[in-house]
Structure 1
Amino acid sequence: MIEIKFFHDVLCPFCFMTNIRLKNVLKDFKGEVRLKHKAFIMISSLDDLKAIAPTEEDAREVFKNEFSILKRYMKDYDPEKPISKGKIGYVWSLPPLMACKAAEFQKGDEGHWEYFTRAQEKFFLEGENVADDQVLIEIAKEIGLDVERFKRDFKSKEAKLAVMEDEAEAKAMGIRGVPALLINDKWLIRGLQTEDYLRKVIEDLVKNGEPKAVELKAYWEQ
């Protein structure tokens, strides 16, 4: 069994694309790959965001630039559409990442994955503020979580600690940005990769147990 740890942030457009590509690839490797989801904070506080975006309109411009990245990979994507709703302003990383952990508490890594995917869709496609409590609760309802338990968990010390533990693990592996894929706690793949490359890596490891057809570097070599 291959284990892939996917370090990501809900607010990361490159993580959005990596998530889509991983889903497409891993459906062909059921029972051979276990995907674990790891939180990584890009915007650590509202103060950090306000330092570069003094007004909510400034913040929308910041996120519009981030959303525009998706135009490179999604032919019909229009960043104006979600931004024009006016709901995205002061959005930061910790609330949606804690919500992903609350989903994980109930349904394991599959729950985390489902919640993370829906949160990113809400943000990048529907223009919702995924740091807003009501949006996070609505996602929990949509994916069939026990909502009352979710309400207790998504702001809990346990959820925050789980995020902080993932951050500490990323730091120990030399991960300074996302997306990042850590395979079998050894080989590290940084940044957005093509589906073809991801498939070749997994096929290689499934067949050989270690990289032979594809060159990979251990995290300590990077």
Structure 2
Amino acid sequence: MQIKYWSDIACPFCYIGSNNMKRAIKDLGLENKVPLKFMAYQLDPAAPKKAPQSSDHELTPRMKQIEDYAHQNDLEMNLADVIHVNSMDAHRLIKLAYTKSDNLANKLINCLYKLYFVDGKSIADHEVLKNVATEVGLDADEVDAVLNSDQFEKEVRQDEMNAMQSGVQGVPFFVINDKYAINGAQPYEVLVGALKKIASEED
């Protein structure tokens, strides 16, 4: 079984949905058997590359709903602290990590989600990105080279083009074995059921 999913680091439902999928894969004993490939998708390509002077904002009822859903799924989330910035550089670093190993890329993805949704850090800030990338094991010079160029931007755009061609209109969007699609931040139980069903059909 193979799973690819389009996702944006700046998308709360992607954070919840991908976490639920990872839990489902792990609990079914498929962790080392099922590759989970992150595909880049920017929900707001026009988002600023620099953090605004003040990022304080009140929690709207909708944001509170999303936070509650995250908490129900055992995830910490602080939407009032989120700094809305461009996610392109974060996506480019994920592409760099994938050139090393899937494991390294997944570690970086998890850390980037935490930075954005829990720690209230700017994922467009090169210093923040470099710190987290080197912490998970990427080479500092390679990270600098990527951040100070447009390296991997073409690959990010290609992922988005593939999403458009596949009819993806919202994220997260999971595609299993190139034929089964699961859209949105589905509950953990739904994902477990879907994976079991697909596994039995594919046997």
Distance 1:138 1:67, change over 3 A: farther
Q: 2:173 corresponds to which residue?
A: 180
Give deviations 1:55-105, integer Å, cap 9, x for gaps: 654x6539x55864222330595637x61xxxx545112121112112222
Name the CA distance, whole Å, in 1 between partners of 2:196 and 2:31: 12
Q: Percent identity?
A: 24
Q: Which amino acid aligns with 1:204?
A: K
RMSD, aligned CA:
2.7
Name the CA distance, whole Å, in 1 between partners of 2:155 and 2:148: 12
Give matches, 1:101-180, under 5 Å.
101-107=95-101, 109-180=102-173
Distance 1:4 1:150, change over 3 A: same
Distance 1:78 1:130, change over 3 A: closer
Name the CA distance, whole Å, in 1 between partners of 2:184 and 2:47: 25
TM-score by length of 1: 0.78
Name the CA distance, whole Å, in 1 between partners of 2:173 and 2:18: 11
Tell me how far 1:110 sits from its aligned partner: 2.4
Contact between 2:3 and 2:177, CA under 8 Å: does it hold in 1? Answer: yes
Name the CA distance, whole Å, in 2 between partners of 1:34 and 1:142: 23
Q: 2:67 corresponds to which residue?
A: 70
Name the CA distance, whole Å, in 2 between partners of 1:160 and 1:60: 30
Give matches, 1:80-119, under 5 Å.
83=81, 89=83, 91-107=85-101, 109-119=102-112
Q: Alignment partner of 1:106: what SS?
A: coil
Q: 1:41 corresponds to which residue?
A: 42
Q: 1:61 corresponds to which residue?
A: 57
Give matches, 1:1-16, under 5 Å.
2-16=1-15
**Structure 1: where are the runs of 5+ without partners?**
211-222
Name the CA distance, whole Å, in 2 between partners of 1:78 and 1:177: 21
Q: Which has the higher contact order (CA 8 A, sep 6+)?
A: 2
Name the CA distance, whole Å, in 2 between partners of 1:11 and 1:143: 20
Q: How many residues align?
A: 196
Q: Alignment partner of 2:30: what SS?
A: coil
Higher share of residues assigned helix: 1
Q: Which amino acid aligns with 2:18?
A: N
**Structure 2: where are the runs of 5+ without partners?**
none
Give deviations 1:4-60, integer Å, cap 9, x for gaps: 11110000101111122122111221343221110001110236x99xxxx654x65
Q: Which amino acid aligns with 1:173?
A: S
Q: Are 1:21 and 2:20 matched, yes or no?
A: yes
Contact between 2:90 and 2:123, CA under 8 Å: does it hold in 1? Answer: yes
Q: 1:195 corresponds to which residue?
A: 188
Name the CA distance, whole Å, in 2 between partners of 1:105 and 1:35: 15
Larger Rg: 1
TM-score by length of 2: 0.84
Distance 1:182 1:199, change over 3 A: same
Distance 1:186 1:67, change over 3 A: same
